[in-house]
Amino acid sequence: MILEDILAHKKKQVEEEKRMIPIKKLMEACDLQPIRDFKKALCTDTMAIIGEVKKASPSKGIIVETFNHRQIASIYEEIPVDALSVLTETQFFKGCDEYLTEVKALVSKPVLRKDFIIDEFQLYQAKAIGADAVLLISSILKGKLKDFYVLTKNLGLACVTEVHTREEAEEALEAGCDIIGINNRNLKTFEVDLKTTEDIRRYIPKGIVTISESGIKASDDIKYLSSLDIDAVLIGETFMRYMNEGRSIIEFINFSKGLHR
């Protein structure tokens, strides 16, 4: 299964990185990093937009053949997205830590590190490379989510806790998580269904920032999600495929911003 392969590779990668980079060195680097307020960026009167920097995915393969993360960052800086998400997973999404560091230097908006975090070492690493927020995936941190969340907050980072089921949402709420991302993509099958957001949204109380992730392709999708009182959407593949058609992206964003929650 794809998720099992990703986690097996990630475990080997992290163990190698821990041998190469002492945790003390990461902590020193953390102290030098300014933090932008990711949560505040999502708390707007209209639908907040998180634009993703994403070269590939396990289900789609290479999404952008002529991938230029600096150029993408510069475009995102000029259009009305509220925050950015940068894939740093190397094997299956073809990302890297350097993408995030360089994107952060080019934009004034907060940046989320999107990766498969399985070790607390990666939280220090995230701050050291310039992330303002991290993604914690509930399904791969069972029994450990609260500890990871507390450390993330202690480091001064925002945390998007990703869920796919009601049970995962309830665990995230019990852990005190204040930003919940509902992933419309099943990480076991990689199938996408926007109705996942509707199924889970009803169990998340007001006051918790709620993001819908994956499979958002058209204005009708935005209209549907807006009707569910979603605070923000994370859009990757759709923006990546139309990055050279700036007018289309801006029209899409303006439509989203025109829907008051």
Structure token pair of residue 114: 């999107």
Known active-site residue 237: no
Task: Indicate which residue of 183, 184, 226, 256 is catalytic.
Answer: 183
Catalytic residue flag (residue 217): no
Q: Is 114 a catalytic residue?
A: yes
Marked catalytic residue, from 57, 85, 127, 162: 162
Answer yes or no: 213 catalytic: yes
Which member of 104, 114, 171, 184 is catalytic?
114
Of 85, 138, 212, 214, catalytic: 214
- Which of the following is catalytic: 10, 54, 109, 127? 54
Question: What letter does residue 260 receive in the DSSP assignment?
Answer: B
For residue 23, which phi and psi values (nearest 5 degrees)?
-60, -30
CA atoms within 13 A of residue 197's CA, in its CB half-sphere = 28
* Contacts of range 25-31, beta carbons closer than 8 Å, 24 or more positions apart: 26/121, 26/124, 26/125, 26/128, 27/124, 29/127, 29/128, 30/124, 30/127, 30/128, 30/155
Cβ atoms of 209 and 25 within 8 Å: the answer is no
74 flagged as catalytic: no
Tell me which of 168, 171, 213, 237 is the catalytic residue.
Answer: 213
Structure tokens at 243: 């990055």
Angle 105-238-185 (CA atoms, 0-180°, nearest 5)? 100
List the catalytic residues: 52, 54, 114, 162, 183, 213-214
